[in-house]
Amino acid sequence: MAGLRDIKRRINSVQSTEQITHTMEMVATAKIRHATERIAEATPYSEAMAKTLANVVEHIGNSDHPFFRVRPEKKTAIGIAIVSDRGLAGGFNSNVLRLADKWRVANEREGIATEIIVCGKKGIGFFHYRHVTPVMTFVDLSADPTAAEAREVASYARSAFEQEKADEVVIFYNHARNSADQDLRQETILPVSPESFKKEAEEGAETAEGKFASSSEFEPDAATVLDHLLPAYVQTMVYHALLDSAAAEQGARRKAMKSATDNASDMIFTLNRMYNRVRQGAITTEITEIVGGAAALEEE
């Protein structure tokens, strides 16, 4: 059994770890609030965009816009994996990366050339280990994503889709269901499904006041408005996914650090019991030796 000094050293080590994990839990809690506020600020614009697009499509009818065209034979695809720059967040990164890589491998088995865009350092290392070189990478932005990052990703995806260099663009990320739980999501952003923003507009209308009139007039015409709004809508989808992932990252990290702190507390409790048991055994042994020595002296 370990000596008292070894047990005490281990207790001190675990206590230091507990302080670190508890501090990281508190930091993640503060960052969740900031990330949630950013999502709340971006949501009205996203809902207004969806409502406007739903109204335009309803006005035009069956539009043949290039962004709506589903190509019958898929030959190329782009995957966007959104993860974090740091670890210590449980399965936050691995879940997204495994899903994205499974999709990539399935595409390649079917002869579909697949490019990967990675947002987050953890994704870069994951794909490099599998000898996959991402066409675009972004680092040090996972906790605080920017509109410029979303613009660059969306611009590359739109350009590739319009030039038929990509027949599908899919995004993988964690959705922050609440401050503690995350949902893994795989969404196709190109080709755009009119039903997607119609559904988003309907969901937004449940909480927002007012509604766009179906008899709205568009200048110069609805088709031109659609040409300008669809690229912005794709960028909005990417930006919203980045913000959502940032909030989910902090929620996952807080949950992981709370679990680590609780485990450290349990270990400290167990080690203290072991320390007391060993110390009591050592005292008992000393007393026994003293009594035995005294008895031996009396016999002499």
Structural domains present in the chain: 4-24+257-299 (1.10.287.80), 27-254 (3.40.1380.10)
Is 0.95 surpassed by the pTM of this model? Answer: no
pLDDT score at 213? 46
Segment 23-50 shows an average pLDDT of 84
pLDDT score at 118? 94
Percentage of the chain lying above the pLDDT 90 cut: 28
Cα–Cα distance between 18 and 262 in angstroms, integer?
A: 8
Percentage of the chain lying above the pLDDT 70 cut: 86
Model confidence at 102, in pLDDT bands (50, 70, 90)? very high
pLDDT score at 212? 46
pLDDT score at 295? 66
Count CB-CB contacts under 10 A for residue 148.
11
Phi-psi sector, 111: left (phi>0), alpha (psi -120 to 50), beta: left
Model confidence at 195, in pLDDT bands (50, 70, 90)? confident
Longest dimension (CA), the chain: 119
Cα–Cα distance between 160 and 166 in angstroms, integer?
A: 5
DSSP run (H or E) holding 119? strand 113-119
pLDDT at 113 exceeding the cut of 80? yes
277 vs 217, higher pLDDT? 277
- Burial class from Cβ neighbours inside 10 Å (0-12, 13-18, 19+) for residue 78 reads buried
251 contacts 175 by C-beta, under 8 angstroms: no
Range of lowest pLDDT (97-106, 139-148, 286-295): 286-295
Edge-to-edge strands, sheet with 136-138: 136-138, 113-119, 76-82, 169-176, 182-190
Segment 271-299 shows an average pLDDT of 77
Range of lowest pLDDT (34-43, 111-120, 164-173): 34-43
Residue 200 DSSP SS3: helix
pLDDT tens readout for residues 250-274: 888 888 898 899 999 999 999 888 8
300 vs 292, higher pLDDT? 292
pLDDT tens readout for residues 5-31: 888 888 899 889 988 989 988 888 888
